[in-house]
Amino acid sequence: MPTISIIIRCYNEEEHIGRLLSGIIQQTIKDVEIIVVDSGSTDATMQPFP
């Protein structure tokens, strides 16, 4: 079980989601579960994160 679970709600956040996920990954706590809940985005919000 992860130390922290982060739930992110998003809708058409292509411009910002990469920076948000990068910031989460750079934190000192590494045992993190990230759950992204998309509400029907019509942009590239849900494209795989590198």
Indicate the pLDDT class of residue 50, thresholds 50, 70 and 90.
Answer: low
CB 7 within 8 A of CB 35: yes
The DSSP symbol for 2 reads -
Residue at 15 is within a domain: yes
Residue at 24 is within a domain: yes
For residue 2, give both structure tokens.
């992860």
Residue at 1 is within a domain: yes
Q: Render pLDDT for 8-21 as a digit per residue (tens, 0 to 9).
A: 999 999 999 999 99
Residue at 3 is within a domain: yes
Residue at 40 is within a domain: no
CA-CA distance, 1 to 39, in Å (whole number)?
26
Q: Render pLDDT for 34-45 as a digit per residue (tens, 0 to 9).
A: 999 998 999 998
Question: Could you tell me the residue range of the domain that residue 9 belongs to?
Answer: 1-29
CB 11 within 8 A of CB 41: yes
- pLDDT above 70 (res 26): yes
CB 41 within 8 A of CB 15: no
Based on the structure, what is the number of domains in the chain?
A: 1
Residue at 36 is within a domain: no
Residue at 34 is within a domain: no
pTM for the full model?
0.78
Residue at 43 is within a domain: no
